[in-house]
Amino acid sequence: MNTHFPHLLSPGQIGNMQLKNHVIMGPTETLYASSDGEITRPIIDYYVRRAKGGAGLIVVHSAQGNTKIDPIDPYAGSIRIDDNAYLPMLSQLTEEVHRAGAKISIVVSPGGGAQALGFPYDKGSQGVCEVSNVGASEKQSMVAQRKVRKLTVDEIKKSIEAYGLCAGRAKAAGFDAFYIHAVGGYLISQFMTPYFNDRDDEYGGSLENRMRFLLELIASCQKYAGKDFPLIVRMSIDEFMGDAGRGIEESKLIGKMLEEAGVAAIDCSAGIFESMHMLIPPFYLPQGVLVPLAEAMKSAVSIPVITQGRLYEPEMAENVLAEGKADFISLSRGWICEPDWVKKISEGDIKGIRKCITCNHCIGARILNNLPLRCTLNAQAGRESEQSTRIVKTNAPKKVAVIGAGPAGLEAAYILGKRGHHVHIYEASGQICGGQLQTATLPPSKDALKNIPEFYNEQLSRLPNVTLHLNCPISADNLDSVSADVVLLATGANALIPNIPGIDNENVYTAEQVLKGEVTLSGKVAVAGGGQIGGETAHFLLEKGCQVSIIEMLPAILVKEELITMLTLLNILSTAGAEILTDTKISKFNVDSVEAVNTLSGESVTVPCDAVVLAFGTTSEKSLYDVLKTKFNEVIVIGDANEVGNIQTAIHDGFFTALDI
C-alpha cells in the first residue's frame, strides 16, 4: 500500500460488505444499454475496465425499477431491473466485475417523476400519443417542463412492492449492495422535498409523511432481499432551493431516520434539476464543494458517510478522509477520465493520472442530449468493447512529424509514441498548449484546464521515441529540417476578425489580448460575440470591475456550451450586472460606441463603450498545408486546423488519427 494515501487505500466496510479500499466509482448514466434497457457488452467492458483500475466499489448507473407506473424513461436509454428478464445480463455484469477485483452495487430508482427527460418506454409513442410524467404532486419541473400526473396511493403501494422485488433481483444477480436513488429531484426525492410534494394525505405534509415513501421502499427491499443485504441511500443533503426545498438540518434528521431503518450508508449529494450546478458541479464550483454536506451528515449518524463533488485530486481526497469529514470517497467523472485512478495512486504514479477538467461534456453535452457517454480527455471511454480503439504496437514504425503542440497534436503524438512510431513535435511557442488552450486557462475558474498540459508533459517524457521541439515554428523557410513519412498539421485556429467598419480602431482588442494581460481595460466594455470566448472574457472583465455589454447576433449567448456550464455562467454574468443583447448584429465600431441593428425589429442599437473586445470565434489555421504537400506524400490536418471545434473534438481527432497510422 502507498503510505502517502493510507486512508484511501486501506480496506473499508459498509454493512457486511468488505471493500479493498475507500474509493467508490459513483454512478453516471452511460446510455450504452439496449433500447429495451438491457445490460450490453459496452456496459460490462466499461465497468470491468474501471474495476481493473482499482475501484473498491463500482456503482452501476441508474436502473429503472417500475416502468409501468412511471412510464417515462428519465433518459432515453436507462437500464432496467423491473423484470426477471434482465437477470441474465445483470448477472454477467456482476460476475465479470468481481473477476476484475471490485465489489459492485446498482443504483435503482422507481422513476424519474416530474424531472424525467426521456421518452415513453412504449417505443413509438412520440408524436402519436401524449404520455404524462408522474410525480408526488402535479408540480412540473422547470427543466423538464412537462405535464405531471399525481400518483395515487394505490400506485404508490404498488411502486413500493415492485421496488422491493428489484432489490431481490439485484441480490440474485450477484450485486454486493443496493443503492437507493433518492437524489436530485427524481421520484423518491420528490416525495421527500416540500418543493415538489404538496400532498395532503399520508405521503405529504410533515417530514414523517414526506419520508413515508422512502421508508416503505426500504422495508420492501429488506423484505425481498433480507436485512443483511446492504442498502445505501444516495440523497441530496441540501437542495439549494432556499426555503422552498430541503436543507441540511432537515437532511440530518432524515439521516437519523435512515440509520434507524437499517440503512448501511448515506451517499451525500446535492441539488435538484432546478439547482443542477450543485447536482453536477461544473468547474465554476471549488474542488470538494460537497464535502461540507457529508461532514454535516457525519455529525448526525454513526453509519458510513460517502462524499463526492470534484475530488479527483488524490491529496484532497486523502485529506477529507484523514480529517474525518467522510468515510468514503466517490468519484464519477474522475473515473470516466482516468480508469486507473486507484491503480496509479497505489503505484505512486500521481503525475501519470489523467485528471478530469470538469467540463461536463460527458453529462451536459452528451447524456442530456440523449447521446451515449463520452469523455473530452479519454477517447476510449465507452469504447472499451471496440477492437478498433485499442492501442496496438505497430509492426512498421514510421517517422511522424506533428506540427503544433495543442490538444490534437499532443494526443496524436502520445498515441503514436505508445504504438512505437518515431515522433517529432514542433511547437512555435515556448510551452506545450501554448496557444488557444493556454489562453483558455486565464478566465476565472478555468485552472483545471492546466491538467491537460501537465498530463502530456509527464506522459511524453516517458516515451523515448517522442521528441519535443519548443520555440520551433515551422515555415517554408525551414521545412528542410523536417524529415518524416507522415506529417500531422495541428496548428489550431486564430481569432476570427470580420470586416466590420472601425474594427481597426485603437480601442478595439481581441479577447486573447485582454485575457493575457497585454492590455488593461476599465469603464464600459462591449464584448463583440457571446460564444464561449465572449462569455468567459465578459466574466473576466466583470471581476476586474468593468461594466460589460455582450452583443450577440444569435437569439442566445453560450449556445454551444454544455447545459450545466452554460446555466452557471449565465447566472454569474447576470448576477454581476452584465448587459446581454441578443439578436443584435454589429454594423460599426466607433471610438465611443458600437452601432448595431436588432435583427428581429430592424431597429438601430447604440451601445456606449470605452473599449471593444472581439470574441467572434476562431477560424482554422492551416496555411502550411499547401507547402507541406509539395515535400511530403502524406499530410493530415487534425484538430481545429481541420475544423474548428473544442478540446474534445481536437483530442478525439488526434486519438483516432494516430490509430490509423
- Catalytic positions, please? 186
By the 8 A CB rule, do 397 and 422 touch?
yes
Q: In angstroms, rounded to a whole number, what is the distance separating the alpha carbons of residues 322 and 313?
A: 14
Phi, psi of 255 (to 5 degrees): -55, -40
Question: Per-residue DSSP letters for 24-53?
Answer: EE-------S-TTS---HHHHHHHHHHHHT
Question: Can you give the three-state secondary structure of 54-123, one letter per residue?
Answer: CCCEEEEEEEECCCCCCCECCCCCCEECCCHHHHHHHHHHHHHHHHCCCEEEEEEECCCHHHCCCCECCC
Cell 491503480, residue? Answer: 343
Task: State the helix-helix crossing angle for 87-99 and 153-172, rounded to 10 degrees.
Answer: 50
Q: Rounded to the nearest 5 degrees, what angle is found at the Cα of 278, between the Cα atoms of 276 and 279?
A: 60
- Cα of first residue to Cα of last residue in the chain, in angstroms, is 39
Name the β-bridge partners of 514.
none
CA dihedral 340, 266, 563, 547 (to 10 degrees): -110
User: In this structure, what DSSP letter does residue 644 have?
Assistant: -
d(CA 110, CA 69) in angstroms, rounded, equals 9
Alpha-carbon span 23 to 29, nearest angstrom: 19
Residue 517 · residue 443 · CB < 8 Å: no
CA atoms within 13 A on the CB side of 266: 31
Quote the CA–CA distance of 269 and 236 in Å, as a whole number.
4
C-alpha–C-alpha distance, residues 578 and 539, integer Å: 9
Contact 641, 404 (CB under 8 A): yes
CB 344 within 8 A of CB 545: no
CA distances from 280 to 57, 151, 308, 413, 563 (A): 20, 28, 10, 32, 11
Which residue carries 410534494 as its cell? 197
Q: What is the largest CA-CA distance in the chain?
A: 82
553-558 contact pairs (CB < 8 A, 24+): 553/583, 553/584, 553/585, 553/586, 553/599, 554/530, 554/582, 554/583, 555/582, 555/583, 556/530, 556/582, 557/530, 557/531, 557/582, 558/530, 558/531, 558/532
Q: CA-CA distance, 231 to 327, in Å (whole number)?
A: 16
The rounded distance, in Å, linking the Cα atoms of 470 and 591 is 39
Cβ burial of 449 (10 Å; 0-12, 13-18, 19+) is buried
Of 61, 55, 57, nearest in space to 90 by CA: 61
Do the Cβ atoms of 285 and 564 come closer than 8 Å? no
Collapse the DSSP code of 373 into the 3-class scheme (helix H, G, I; strand E, B; otherwise coil) and give the result: coil
